[in-house]
Chains A and B, each alone.
Chain A
Amino acid sequence: MEQQILTLYDWIVKLSSSNLIALIVVITLPLVFLMVYALVAILGELKISAFIQERLGPMRTGPWGIIQPVAEVVKLLQKEDITPDAANKPLFNMAPFLMFTAAYAGFAVIPFSSHFVPAGINLGLFYIFAMGSLAVIGLVMGGWASNNKYSLLGALRSVAQIISYEIPAAIVILTIVVLASSMNLQVINANQGGWFWNWYLFGGPGTAWKLIIIPVTFSMFLLYLVASLAETNRTPFDIPEGESELVAGYHTEYSGMKFAMFFFAEYANMFVVAALISILFFGGWNSPFGDFMNGPIWGVFWFISKSFVFVFVQIWLRWTLPRLRVDQLMGVTWKVMTPIAFICFFAIGLWLMFN
Chain B
Amino acid sequence: MKKYINNIWLGIYTVLVGMKITIIHLFAKNVTVQYPNKHPLEKASGDKMPMNARNRIFVDMDLCNGCNGCARACPVNCITVQTLKVVPGDAPPLKNGEKRGLWVPSYTLDFAKCCFCGLCIDPCPTEAIKMTTEFEYSAYDRKDLFYKFSTMTDEEIQQKKELLANFQAEKAKKEAEAKKAADAAKAAEAPKPETGELKIDN
Contacts and interface: CB of A to CB of B under 8 A. Distances in A.
Interface of A: 48, 50-56, 59, 222, 316-317, 319-321, 332, 336, 340
A55 B31 contact: yes
Nearest to B28: A54
B12 A316 contact: no
Given A56-B34, A316-B19, A320-B18, A51 B26 contact: yes
Contact of B8 (A59, A317, A336): A336
Given A51-B26, A53-B25, A316-B22, A321 B31 contact: no
Contacts of A52: 22, 25-26
Nearest to B16: A320
A48 B26 contact: yes
B32 A55 contact: yes
Given A54-B28, A55-B32, A316-B23, 18 more contacts: A48-B26, A51-B25, A51-B26, A51-B27, A53-B25, A54-B30, A55-B30, A55-B31, A56-B34, A316-B19, A316-B26, A317-B15, A317-B19, A319-B22, A320-B22, A336-B4, A336-B7, A340-B8
B32 A56 contact: yes
B104 to A, nearest CB: 44
A242 B28 CA distance: 29
A315 to B, nearest CB: 10
Contacts of B34: 56, 59
Contacts of A51: 25-27, 30
B165 to A, nearest CB: 62
Interface in B78-94: none
Contacts of A54: 25, 28-32
Contacts of A332: 11
Contacts of A340: 8
A50 B28 CA distance: 11
Interface in B32-78: 32, 34
A104 B167 CA distance: 94
B48 to A, nearest CB: 17
B19 A320 contact: yes
A320 B29 contact: no
B186 to A, nearest CB: 80
A44 to B, nearest CB: 12
A320 B31 contact: no
A319 B7 CA distance: 23
A340 B4 CA distance: 12
A48 B22 CA distance: 10
- Nearest 9 A/B pairs, CB to CB: A56-B32, A320-B18, A320-B22, A52-B22, A51-B26, A54-B31, A52-B25, A52-B26, A55-B32
